[in-house]
Structure 1
Amino acid sequence: MSTSIAAKEAFEFLNAGMKQHFRGYGDTTTAARDRAAKDAGVTPAQAERLWKNWKTMKHPNGDVYRQLRNRYGHLCSWIENVADRIERQRQEIEETDAIDQSHSPSGEGVVRVAQGAAERETMK
């Protein structure tokens, strides 16, 4: 028996969504899978079929594959956006620390820190 590449990819897309929707202690993988399926626009029955039979499927339903792939793409974009935001915050903190380390008699560092704090408040 050979595994369909599309079935394997669809299964991996579903798993990624399931990990995002898993709520921790007391939650079940089945419930997380169903939430991920609904979020992607797939019925829980379609997700269950894929979950149980992905190794022996000749091919998954095209709509199921497409919807899971699209949702996975949105998940990746969301993660990348969060990572970019965290990186910008890290750079701001490093710049602020560098300014604080310099010895400026005019107090420029204090003004820049206050401006950065005000900018972060407006971004929220």
Structure 2
Amino acid sequence: MSDTRRVKSDLERGSKVMGTSLAAMEAFNLLNAGTRKHYRGGGDTPTAARDRAAKEAGITPAQAERVWKRWKTMASVDGDVYRRLRNRYGYLCSWIEKAADAMERETREIEETNANFHGYSPVGESMARPSQGEKSSS
């Protein structure tokens, strides 16, 4: 075998190993995040949830299906599909973060209200008072 043939086959083998693009893998993960958000539980299918997520992101169900089924072998993903999924995922993350912040604020308010309502006393306060049976020595 000549050196030129060996180099050519090495290049072909390398491209098969690196067939999955990072953008395709990210697009798949972004689509999965949207699919989990839209999954309605028993009676629903992952495919229907994926299609709802695709429509919400602004891509067609066919584009979502292509990413879903072929992400491991795709050399690249359409830029518009990737951008729309990325934007929708960013909105989903900000929505979740805002909801978490609101829950933390509410929890803090409840804890402060409870602390004020119950009037927690310092530790050892009852030990400083004389008991009812004792007489003061003054």
| TM range, smaller chain | 0.7 to 0.9
Which of 21, 25, 40 is the aligned partner of 1:4? 21
2:109 — aligned with what? 92
**Residues 1:43 and 2:87 are matched in the alignment:** no
Superposed counterparts of 1:31-110, under 5 Å: 31-102=48-119
**Residues 1:20 and 2:17 are matched in the alignment:** no
Deviation digits for residues 19-41 of structure 1 (CA, Å, limit 9, x no counterpart): 00000000000000000000000
Separation in 2, partners of 1:43, 1:66: 14
| Residue 101 of structure 1: how far off its partner (Å) | 1.8
Number of matched pairs: 103
Deviation digits for residues 32-53 of structure 1 (CA, Å, limit 9, x no counterpart): 0000000000000000000000
The TM-score, its normalising length taken from structure 2, stands at 0.73
Query: If you compute each CA radius of gyration, which structure gives the higher value, 1 or 2?
Result: 2
Moved over 4 A (4+): none
Give the residue type in structure 1 aligned to 2:119.
S
Separation in 1, partners of 2:31, 2:24: 10
* Unaligned residue ranges in structure 1 (runs of 5+): 104-124
The TM-score, its normalising length taken from structure 1, stands at 0.81
Separation in 1, partners of 2:37, 2:119: 43
Deviation digits for residues 85-115 of structure 1 (CA, Å, limit 9, x no counterpart): 0000000000001101217xxxxxxxxxxxx
Q: Secondary structure at the match of 1:98?
A: helix
Separation in 2, partners of 1:32, 1:50: 14
